[in-house]
Structure 1
Amino acid sequence: MGKVGRKMGGSPMMGLGKSNAKIYKENDIKITFDDVAGQDEAKESLKEIIDYLNNASKYTSIGAKLPKGALLVGPPGTGKTLLAKAVAGEANVPFLSISGSNFVEMFAGMGAAKVRDLFQEAEKNAPCIIFIDEVDSIGKSRDSQIQTNDEREQTLNQLLTQMDGFDSTKAIVVLAATNRPEILDKALLRPGRFDRRVIVDRPDLKGRIDILKVHSKGVKLGDDVNLEEIAKSTPGAVGADLANIVNEAALRAVKHGREFVMQEDLREAVEVIIAGKEKKDRILSPMEKRIVAFHEVGHALVAALLENTDPVHKITIVPRTMGALGYTMQLPEEEKYLVSKEELTNQIMVMLGGRSAEEEVFNLLSTGASNDIERATKTARSMVTIYGMTDKFDMMALESVQNRYLDGRAVRECSDETSTLIDEEILKIIRTCHESTKKLLRENRDLLDKISEYLLEKETIFGSEFMEFVYDKYPELRDRKNKKVKDANQVIEI
């Protein structure tokens, strides 16, 4: 019988205490600021660090102390890691990269040992950049309600000690990334540590255009490609999403036997990212198909007849792999940073347009409106608890947003009695919007029927086709920038 537990390849204990950080020599980093698009403000904030790494003596001779660390804050996929690498590429210095989760060990004291090893490696490679991704893994607040353990606290203490102790004349800069800045320990953020915060947020329209240009550099594009149109159709998208869209479009072009990407490939790629691929094997019954058609036209018609709503771009009843039996796509004409109470109310009415159409035409309630109901309720809740848009609570803060860069979850900060009153206000908004939406569709039943029958025939129609039906009945809308129905006051008093 052979020996049990024979060792092969050396002891697994030998790697303990080593940081195992990825070390990129200056010549290994080919990424520069030219490769980072849509983050002009963030790049501007980091240029001082690049100059410091290249000309440290210029700062030390005058007695200036630059920040030892900078915190890159933003949602997932916005390019925080890429930006950190670009800083190293621009400065032409080594780049030591490690994830915060790599410091957490099952053996006591190993996390702290890894931190020490990381900074020892940095001193050998100075001037250089240390990059700690997901720093919240080790930097959670020690006095918060989040449960911590001794190993993580020792690791955090060691990180603080190392940042305080390393020689500032050696030009070592620590960059860290997080999408949960609110849970970081305050000691990490005090002067001399991560006292500079760089926001790496979702790009605006210009930023999305620039990002699409960067990711399409190596892709053969057709003459009809309009990246601005694609950027306009992807509000809220981050760099990773846009890279995925360009790649998805290239794959589609190859699948269809083309040697270059056309605009239709990019348009379909946007829809694949939003709703999934077309699910052609999902066969709806004639009645189900009819319900879906009226449901989607209900959304679109309410959007067309109300003021200050995003224009309808496309309506389809072709099922998608992410579960949608059909959908209505609206695209904003411009970037908006402020939304009025009227606009939020109209958004809720558009969300409720599908269910309301089902009720008016078929006198039934189906499961197809579940997502609409969820989104409408969330919007109404925000109006009451966060935006201060009701008379009952005036400008009283009732909820605070947690994880702003992740799910944006709101935590209620009020008594149980007040919570009951909040629910009553939310129901009041939803009910008022619901009744107004049904009334609007009832008054325009002829349009609802005509467009739905056309959609059943075509399966997919675009905004220009759809709006011709609306213009036939309301020609005054064609020449108005803000869509409005004559003699219909759609500003709802809540």
Structure 2
Amino acid sequence: MTVQPQVTLPLSHLINILHPLKHSVGSSSCATCTSRKHTEHASDSEPQSTESVWNLRELGLSDLGKQQLDELVDRVLKGLSPDDVAPPVGGQTAWRASYLSTHSFFHNKHGFSWNATDPSAVFFSKNRLSPLRTVCTDLNHWPVLFQSRGFKTLRSKTRRVQSAFERPVNSEAYAPSFIKGFLTRDKGVDAESLDSLLKNKNIPDGQQEAFKRGFAEGFLKAQALTQRTQDSLRRTRLILLVLLLAGLYGISKTPFMSVRFRATSGLDSAVDPVQMKNVTFEHVKGVEEAKNELQEVVEFLKNPQKFTALGGKLPKGVLLVGPPGTGKTLLARAVAGEAVVPFYYASGSEFDEMFVGVGASRIRNLFREAKANAPCVIFIDELDSVGGKRIESPMHPYSRQTINQLLAEMDGFKTNEGVIIIGATNFPEALDNALIRPGRFDMQVTVPKPDVKGRTEILNWYLKKIKVDPAIEANVIARGTVGFSGADLENLVNQAALKAAVDGKDMVSMKELEFAKDKILMGPERRSAEIDQKNKTITAYHESGHAIVAYYTKDAMPINKATIMPRGPSLGHVSMLPENDRWSETRSQLLAQMDVSMGGRVAEEIVFGHENITTGASSDFDSATRIARMMVTRYGMCEKLGVMTFSDMTELSPETQAAVEHEVRVLLKESYDRAKALLKSHAKEHKSLADALLMYETLDAKEIQLVLEGKTLESR
């Protein structure tokens, strides 16, 4: 066996590698040691022998005999003469260590000079690697010049070399504990170990078979338990995965993620048709004119030939305008229930989001799907949020994209046949002028608050849904709820039903309806408020002053109820309701309202003196001042300033502003004097009504009339 000279190695490295081999084969250098020291260090031969065996295995020389190893060592170290070998010092090593400095640092470090190296030497060969070359490759001991980044010290180099030589043969010892468990799990107990265990425990031969059988059964049960555990874990993982996927799917379908738009990216943001079969025009009460207008649209969708035969065209848009709670959305739902065409619903605030261009993209997708299913209806609620007036604002340079796209889709370059847009808003003045022009919104339908007839119909409709006393008269409640919208009337009936349930009654009577009406008009009662007798007396005379002026003034509204029970923020309240709906008000009616507002402060001043007036009349003065200012600046009811209106007081000259303020002050002073004269002339009735309020706390219109006529009230 020959060693191929493809590698140039330092002689000191070869000596370190072959040092254990020299000990194992008993080389001539070890013969210089005395027999006494050899005997003395015999105990150290076992580790060295073990290390030599490991080195032989690593070098691929484990199959060589002693003679072959001697020959290999002699050939490798043939240049080393016996004279170069110094006698052992202290018995630690058989090799000579020189501490003399040479002419270069390279020679001191590697044991040979740089000139001894052949630059043209072949460091790599395509031939099969020899064992020595493999070891040198693993130890990174090539005598080639290479750049190494970092700090390299003699201590770190020595530690690496020692760790490489002292590493045990079994690599499993260096494996982590969990890897070691995997490596040793399947080894089990071999047959020889089990037999030796039986012999060591002195188990009789007759019981050894039973012991082996029990051991086998226990082993099989353990395997079965392990298998069941693994199966259970596998099923658990599968269930968790299914639940995770189901949860992600559910989140994607929740209203929070997509209300009606199926995606927020704009790529798939079309809306789905709405089915409202349970709402028809029979459910709409109190707005007959608006209902008739929309019924014509539905009839056009059902039978377009009836209208197109005369040359008419399908209207492109219908704008519903009115105060909140009048039934604009209910009308649109009725159209969805009556129409036999697809109905698409979207809120104006759903188009724009945090990303630029999402609103315009959703408008395009909405109309694209609507055109594909024409004829159809698109209802956009709260249109002012998307169709507001366009302004020049550097803060929102992209705010006009959505409304521009809406304008183009409704009546742009491309025709939009068969798609009707219904919009609803509470602020028509906030809409862009280009949006409400004919060709986009051809019809503008006003949905006002219901009149007495409409309120009666609405009350009857909602009273049918609850248990009520047959003696209830809906028209009486309707006359006492002037200014109520449909939503207010629904709330009134619901509050009455809740009151009857709290009181434990079987049905709703007029008492609960009156209670609900007073709660809405005057606020909820605050019976827990503790008010001393002095403040109660002042409040009673204050509210009696309002009632006396309202009762004896010609054009004042009739009294509905007077109370000194704290309701809401006020300590007392006088409710007045007109007998019929008022479509306009005269000058005498406005002056009467001012006189009634002044009655509370005038009563305090007459009864308790100017030094004991209270702050309870602040809201009364606000109301009276507002009416007087409107008479002067808006209604043209001032003789000095004439019929000229003043919308913006800041644009007026100082002289005009002073004239307006003077006329307002004159109207208020005249109203105060009229209320003061009236209360002085009816001081007796004033005192009687105040005493009745202190006794009963709340009086209705009939009871107030009885008191002012001098009659006695029935005890409660």
Q: Provide the TM-score with structure 2 as the length reference.
A: 0.60
Conserved 8 A contact 1:94-1:129: yes
Change in 2 beyond 3 A, CA 1:146/1:457: farther
Whole-Å separation in 1 of the counterparts to 2:588 and 2:619: 22
Pairing partner for 1:74 from 319, 322, 334? 322
SS in 1 for 2:481: coil
User: Is 2:275 the counterpart of 1:37?
Assistant: no
Equivalent residue number for residue 273 of structure 2: 23
Name the aligned partner's letter for residue 59 of structure 1.
Answer: F
Pairing partner for 1:449 from 687, 692, 698? 687
- Structure possessing the higher radius of gyration over alpha carbons: 2
Conserved 8 A contact 2:469-2:507: yes
User: Is 2:637 the counterpart of 1:389?
Assistant: yes
User: For structure 1, which runs of at least 5 residues remain unmatched after alignment?
Assistant: 1-6, 400-410, 474-494
The Cα of 1:462 is off from its aligned counterpart by 1.7
Conserved 8 A contact 2:264-2:358: no
The Cα of 1:78 is off from its aligned counterpart by 0.7
- CA RMSD across the alignment: 2.3
Deviates more, 1:55-64 or 1:71-80: 55-64
Name the aligned partner's letter for residue 549 of structure 2.
Answer: V
Equivalent residue number for residue 295 of structure 2: 47
Change in 2 beyond 3 A, CA 1:278/1:108: same
- Deviations along 1:47-71, whole A, 9 cap, x unmatched? 2211111112333344312320010
Equivalent residue number for residue 463 of structure 2: 216
Change in 2 beyond 3 A, CA 1:376/1:37: same
Pairing partner for 1:57 from 280, 305, 309? 305
Whole-Å separation in 2 of the counterparts to 1:175 and 1:148: 31
Deviates more, 1:134-143 or 1:31-40: 134-143
User: Is 2:591 the counterpart of 1:345?
Assistant: yes
Deviates more, 1:196-205 or 1:370-379: 370-379
Change in 2 beyond 3 A, CA 1:340/1:235: same
Change in 2 beyond 3 A, CA 1:213/1:344: same
Change in 2 beyond 3 A, CA 1:394/1:458: same
Whole-Å separation in 1 of the counterparts to 2:272 and 2:593: 48
Name the aligned partner's letter for residue 307 of structure 1.
Answer: K
SS in 2 for 1:177: strand
- Deviations along 1:72-129, whole A, 9 cap, x unmatched? 0000111100011112222233321111111222211111011111112323443322
- Deviations along 1:470-493, whole A, 9 cap, x unmatched? 3459xxxxxxxxxxxxxxxxxxxx
Equivalent residue number for residue 676 of structure 2: 438
Equivalent residue number for residue 461 of structure 1: 699
Equivalent residue number for residue 9 of structure 2: none
Pairing partner for 1:236 from 458, 479, 483? 483
SS in 2 for 1:189: coil
Whole-Å separation in 2 of the counterparts to 1:383 and 1:147: 41
The structure with higher relative contact order (CA 8 Å, sep 6+) is 1
Q: Provide the TM-score with structure 1 as the length reference.
A: 0.86
Name the aligned partner's letter for residue 110 of structure 1.
Answer: V
Pairing partner for 1:415 from 632, 649, 652? 652
Whole-Å separation in 2 of the counterparts to 1:351 and 1:147: 48
SS in 2 for 1:152: coil
User: For structure 2, which runs of at least 5 residues remain unmatched after alignment?
Assistant: 1-244, 712-716
Conserved 8 A contact 2:410-2:440: yes
User: Is 2:580 the counterpart of 1:331?
Assistant: no
Whole-Å separation in 2 of the counterparts to 1:22 and 1:416: 58
The Cα of 1:36 is off from its aligned counterpart by 0.8
Name the aligned partner's letter for residue 601 of structure 2.
Answer: R
Change in 2 beyond 3 A, CA 1:214/1:93: farther
Deviates more, 1:188-197 or 1:9-18: 9-18
Whole-Å separation in 2 of the counterparts to 1:222 and 1:146: 60
The Cα of 1:287 is off from its aligned counterpart by 0.5
The structure where strand makes up a greater share of residues is 1
Whole-Å separation in 2 of the counterparts to 1:413 and 1:45: 43
Pairing partner for 1:245 from 467, 488, 492? 492
Whole-Å separation in 2 of the counterparts to 1:414 and 1:115: 42
User: Is 2:432 the counterpart of 1:185?
Assistant: yes
% of aligned pairs identical?
A: 42
User: Is 2:673 the counterpart of 1:425?
Assistant: no
Equivalent residue number for residue 525 of structure 2: 278
Name the aligned partner's letter for residue 343 of structure 1.
Answer: Q
Instruction: Report 1:107-122 matches (<5 A).
Output: 107-122=355-370
